[in-house]
């Protein structure tokens, strides 16, 4: 019980409420984190990967998309071995055009993470808004929103994404396609992902809106939108945090899948999925590193984020303690 | 001076199944009458107490008076004006001190909201001090307080928009007995200082007796008796009131044989014809099963009973 220490304080003592930092350090969540080796490792790996992607221009040995820095003679250099012609060494080897695989991974991860974060953000905004409205309004509005969600769920998310991709391809002129590809990806993945946010938020909203603090807000003279966003939203967010983390891992995988299938990030802006697709061409001719390292990075990224999400779900669920 | 006039107040809830199920199952619409034709007057600066079993419609009346629920028929008038939405001068204290405070808000913001939402100036610290908390508590979150303290926060919030009437819906039933008196005395003090009127809703006869100027007894959504505490507890005019008083444990009655109340409150979806109390009433006659009695003056109070003159308390007689 967190309120126990407060009762020991004599009533007239001028007590300062604990600072934000102290509250965080003493919180259950921090304790659960400290005592879970899996969570610590997952957090460390995902933070390392995310930071190295964000700071790729400073971390990467070369910019793989700057033609001036490329030398075709460096093509197909195996990892940690000097090139036969130029003598240059690459930590993870090079691909067919002499780009260092390590550098392309760092830059590719930027695209993957950007698409992942943006897609989850888009799904969250859409799902939370629709979920709040459905849970608050009830009746016909609720029925319509949730039936649309049900129908959405009957399509596999990859199919939805490909459908949107196909439509976008028809609508967007050819010269803009590569620029738009990333945004189409974000919308496609986000649209196939909003349902779970909407469901969770709707359920939580229905529970919260029957509580007396909502009646109190109405008595205070607040109306629907203000009650929804100022009172109910902060109280339905903790399950959303869990879903968002797990969704991030799924969105990164979905992006890789679409890019692998050739309907995602273009070769000029390759994501991890695009790199895997390119690398696949060389797997059977012995240049395994072009496929292996992007694939291993994708695995580590998705796994660590997913483990973090799983841990968060357990840590926030009081029934599992 | 009458502050709030309740006239012919009726509230029905739709309890039918979802329409698709209803159409397929060929079931009729069903409605539950939670409050049926209740009329009463709340005087300024006084406490009107509503008492009744759970399901008797006490809270529904409270929420209609506060403007949180629309009546199906009849109306609540304040200053001659029908209440259709929440108002600054009618506030509420809720039963559950845990669910009635937003856990993500600081106490200062919670307490100030009824005033701030209407553009009124308010000092949260001063409000908290008025209910016996400290001004510094405004920085805290609700989970840092005990049940009794939280209920004080609820009282402070209700005071914030300077109400003339506070609907207190079971304000003490979630509290420890030792804390109940503190909250009740706080309410009494506030009434003496500021002349606030209370509509006190409770099932606890001790609380009611301690607080009320006028008591209304509800049974199945109907007002069956209304009287001042002295009259009601000494000379109940309705057999249901007599049963309630007899059923309550008394300090002087150790070892006394108390006949347990017979039966249960009927189904409000299909209430019995005539007087709602007739299936449980020891005095019921044929008339009671045919005709619903009107609330008429009996002695100093009012009662809705065909045999009001013949009611006796077991403990007294």
Assess whether pLDDT exceeds 80 at residue A174: no
Domain boundaries, chain B: 239-317
Per the structure block, which two tokens stand in for A210?
């029957």
Mean pLDDT of A211-239: 89
Rg (CA), chain A: 24
Q: Best interface-test mutation with B: which of A216, A224, A238 has the largest number of B CBs within 10 A?
A: A216
Q: Min CA distance, A220 vs chain B (Å)?
A: 4
pLDDT tens digits for range B48-99: 999 988 888 889 999 999 999 999 999 999 988 888 888 888 999 999 988 9
Q: Min CA distance, A151 vs chain B (Å)?
A: 19
Which helix (H) or strand (E) covers residue B302, if one does? strand B301-303
**Which of A12, A216, A218 is the closest to B157 by Cβ?**
A216
Task: Scan for tokens 């003493």, then name that residue.
Answer: A26
Mean pLDDT of A145-150: 92
- pLDDT score for A26: 67
Contact criterion met (CB < 8 Å) for B140 and A17: yes
What is the spatial distance between Cα B3 and Cα B203, in angstroms, rounded to a whole number? 24
pLDDT tens digits for range B110-120: 999 998 888 88
SS3 B75: strand
pLDDT tens digits for range A261-312: 877 788 778 888 888 888 888 888 878 888 889 899 999 999 999 999 888 8
B285: left (phi over 0), alpha (psi -120 to 50) or beta: beta
- pLDDT score for B295: 87
Contact criterion met (CB < 8 Å) for A213 and B99: yes
- pLDDT score for A6: 47
B136 touches chain A (CB under 8 A): yes
Of the pLDDT bands very low, low, confident and very high (cuts 50, 70, 90), residue A72 is confident
Contact B46, B166 (CB under 8 A): no
Among chain A, residues having any CB pair with chain B shorter than 8 Å are 2-3, 6-7, 11-12, 14-17, 211-213, 215-222, 231, 234-235
Domain boundaries, chain A: 25-320
B146 touches chain A (CB under 8 A): yes
Fold of A25-320: MetI-like fold (1.10.3720)
Mean pLDDT of B3-7: 88
What is the spatial distance between Cα A6 and Cα B147, in angstroms, rounded to a whole number? 13
The total of other beta-carbon atoms located within 10 Å of residue B151's CB is 30
How far from B271 is each of A50, B36, B219, B292, CA to CA, in Å?
A: 66, 11, 11, 11
Per the structure block, which two tokens stand in for A240?
């959303």
Task: Scan for tokens 């009646």, then name that residue.
Answer: A215
B120 touches chain A (CB under 8 A): no
Report H helices in chain A. 4-7, 20-26, 28-34, 37-54, 56-59, 101-137, 139-154, 157-171, 177-191, 194-209, 212-219, 224-226, 233-260, 272-280, 289-316
Mean pLDDT of chain A: 83
**Which of B63, B101, B117 is the closest to A222 by Cβ?**
B117
Which helix (H) or strand (E) covers residue B225, if one does? strand B222-227
Q: Which of B239, B158, B164 is nearest to B195 (CA)?
A: B164
What DSSP designation does A231 have?
I
Q: Min CA distance, A74 vs chain B (Å)?
A: 58
What is the spatial distance between Cα B201 and Cα B221, in angstroms, rounded to a whole number? 13
Q: Min CA distance, A30 vs chain B (Å)?
A: 19
B14 touches chain A (CB under 8 A): no
- pLDDT score for A50: 92
Query: Which residues of chain A lie closer than 8 angstroms to B63, CB-CB?
Result: 215
**Chain A neighbours among B 151-170 (CB < 8 Å)?**
154, 157, 161
Query: Which residues of chain B lie closer than 8 angstroms to A15, CB-CB?
Result: 136
What is the spatial distance between Cα B141 and Cα B54, in angstroms, rounded to a whole number? 32
pLDDT tens digits for range B243-272: 888 877 766 655 566 667 777 778 888 888
**Which of A6, A212, A222 is the closest to B96 by Cβ?**
A212
What is the spatial distance between Cα A187 and Cα A138, in angstroms, rounded to a whole number? 27
Contact B173, B204 (CB under 8 A): yes
Q: Min CA distance, A27 vs chain B (Å)?
A: 13
Of the pLDDT bands very low, low, confident and very high (cuts 50, 70, 90), residue B19 is confident
Task: Scan for tokens 């991709």, then name that residue.
Answer: A165
B68 touches chain A (CB under 8 A): yes
SS3 readout for B153-222 = HHHHHHHHCCCCEEEEECCCCCCCHHHHHHHHHHHHHHHHHHCCEEEEEECCHHHHHHHCCEEEEEECCE
Query: Which residues of chain B lie closer than 8 angstroms to A14, CB-CB?
Result: 136
For residue A207, report the phi and psi dihedrals to the nearest 5 degrees: -65, -50
What DSSP designation does A82 have?
B
**Which of B94, B100, B146 is the closest to A3 by Cβ?**
B146
Q: Best interface-test mutation with A: which of B144, B149, B176 has the largest number of A CBs within 10 A?
A: B144
For residue A196, report the phi and psi dihedrals to the nearest 5 degrees: -65, -35
Q: Which of A233, A224, A162, A228 is nearest to A191 (CA)?
A: A162
For residue A96, report the phi and psi dihedrals to the nearest 5 degrees: -65, -30
B67: left (phi over 0), alpha (psi -120 to 50) or beta: left
**Which of B90, B99, B117 is the closest to A212 by Cβ?**
B99
Query: Which residues of chain A lie closer than 8 angstroms to B97, CB-CB?
Result: none
Contact criterion met (CB < 8 Å) for B102 and A213: yes
Q: Which position has the higher pLDDT, B246 or A131?
A: A131
How far from A145 is each of A187, A188, A194, A200, B195, CA to CA, in Å?
A: 19, 19, 12, 13, 49
B104 touches chain A (CB under 8 A): yes
Contact A268, A156 (CB under 8 A): no
Contact A259, A277 (CB under 8 A): yes
The complex scores an ipTM of: 0.85
Report H helices in B212-298. 229-234, 239-247, 286-290
For residue B263, report the phi and psi dihedrals to the nearest 5 degrees: 70, 180
Contact criterion met (CB < 8 Å) for B94 and A216: yes
Contact A250, B118 (CB under 8 A): no
Per the structure block, which two tokens stand in for A104?
């392309």
What is the spatial distance between Cα A160 and Cα A164, in angstroms, rounded to a whole number? 6
* Helix, strand, coil percent content, chain A, rounded in steps of 5: 75, 0, 25
What is the spatial distance between Cα B254 and Cα B256, in angstroms, rounded to a whole number? 5
B92 touches chain A (CB under 8 A): yes
Q: Mean pLDDT lowest for which of A12-16, A154-158, B110-114, B264-268?
A: A12-16
Query: Which residues of chain B lie closer than 8 angstroms to A235, CB-CB?
Result: 102-104
Of the pLDDT bands very low, low, confident and very high (cuts 50, 70, 90), residue A1 is very low
DSSP class per residue in A134-180: HHHH-HHHHHHHHHHHHHHHHS-HHHHHHHHHHHHHHHS-GGGHHHH
Query: Which residues of chain A lie closer than 8 angstroms to B62, CB-CB?
Result: none
């Amino acid at each position: 019980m967190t309120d126990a220490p407060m009762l020991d304080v004599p009533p007239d003592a001028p007590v300062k409420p604990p600072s934000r930092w102290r509250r965080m350090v003493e919180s259950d969540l921090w304790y659960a984190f400290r005592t879970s080796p899996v969570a610590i490792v997952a957090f460390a790996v995902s933070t390392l990967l995310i930071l190295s992607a964000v700071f790729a221009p400073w971390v990467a040995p070369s910019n793989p998309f700057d033609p001036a820095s490329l030398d075709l003679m460096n093509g197909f250099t195996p990892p940690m071995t000097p090139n036969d012609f130029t003598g240059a060494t690459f930590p993870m080897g090079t691909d067919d055009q002499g780009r260092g695989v390590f550098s392309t991974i760092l830059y590719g991860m930027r695209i993957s993470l950007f698409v992942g974060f943006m897609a989850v953000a888009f799904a969250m905004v859409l799902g939370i808004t629709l979920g709040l409205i459905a849970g608050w309004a009830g009746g016909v509005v609720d029925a319509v929103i949730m039936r649309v969600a049900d129908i959405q769920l009957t399509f596999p998310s990859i199919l939805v994404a490909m459908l949107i991709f196909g439509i976008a391809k028809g609508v967007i002129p050819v010269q803009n396609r590569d620029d738009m590809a990333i945004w189409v990806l974000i919308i496609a993945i986000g649209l196939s992902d909003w349902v779970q946010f909407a469901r969770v938020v709707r359920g939580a909203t229905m529970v919260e809106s029957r509580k007396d603090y909502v009646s109190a807000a109405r008595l205070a003279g607040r109306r629907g939108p203000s009650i929804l966003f100022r009172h109910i939203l902060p109280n339905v967010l903790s399950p959303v945090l869990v879903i968002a983390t797990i969704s991030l891992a799924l969105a990164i995988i979905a992006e890789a899948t679409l890019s692998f299938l050739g309907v995602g990030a273009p070769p000029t802006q390759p994501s991890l999925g695009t790199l895997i697709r390119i690398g696949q061409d060389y797997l059977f001719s012995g240049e395994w590193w072009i496929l292996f390292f992007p694939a291993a990075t994708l695995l580590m990224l998705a796994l660590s984020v997913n483990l973090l999400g799983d841990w968060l779900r357990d840590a926030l669920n009081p029934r599992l303690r | 001076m009458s502050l709030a006039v309740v006239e012919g107040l009726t509230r029905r809830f739709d309890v039918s199944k979802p329409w698709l199920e209803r159409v397929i199952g060929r079931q009729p619409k069903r409605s539950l009458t939670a409050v049926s034709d209740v009329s009463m007057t709340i005087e300024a600066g006084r406490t009107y107490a509503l008492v009744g079993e759970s399901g008797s419609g006490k809270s529904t009346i409270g929420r209609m008076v506060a403007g949180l629920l629309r009546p199906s028929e009849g109306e609540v008038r304040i200053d001659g004006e029908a209440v259709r939405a929440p108002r600054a001068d009618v506030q509420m204290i809720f039963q559950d001190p845990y669910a009635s405070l937003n856990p993500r808000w600081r106490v200062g913001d919670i307490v100030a909201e009824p005033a701030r939402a209407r553009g009124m100036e308010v000092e949260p610290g001063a409000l908290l001090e008025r209910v016996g908390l400290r001004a510094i508590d405004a920085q805290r979150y609700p989970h840092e307080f005990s049940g009794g303290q939280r209920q004080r926060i609820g009282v402070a919030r209700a005071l914030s928009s300077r109400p003339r009437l506070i609907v207190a819906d079971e304000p003490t039933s979630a509290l420890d007995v030792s804390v109940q008196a503190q909250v009740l005395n706080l309410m009494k003090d506030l009434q003496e200082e500021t002349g606030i009127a209370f509509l006190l809703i409770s099932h606890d006869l001790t609380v009611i007796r301690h607080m009320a100027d006028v008591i209304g007894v509800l049974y199945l959504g109907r007002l069956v008796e209304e009287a001042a505490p002295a009259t009601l507890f000494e000379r109940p005019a309705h057999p249901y009131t007599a049963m309630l008083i007899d059923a309550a444990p008394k300090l002087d009655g150790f070892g006394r044989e108390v006949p347990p109340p017979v039966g249960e409150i009927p189904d409000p979806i299909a209430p019995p014809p005539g007087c709602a109390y007739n299936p449980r009433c020891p005095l019921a006659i044929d008339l009671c099963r045919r005709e619903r009695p009107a609330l008429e003056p009996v002695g100093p109070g009012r009662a809705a009973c065909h045999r009001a003159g013949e009611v006796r308390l077991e403990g007294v007689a």
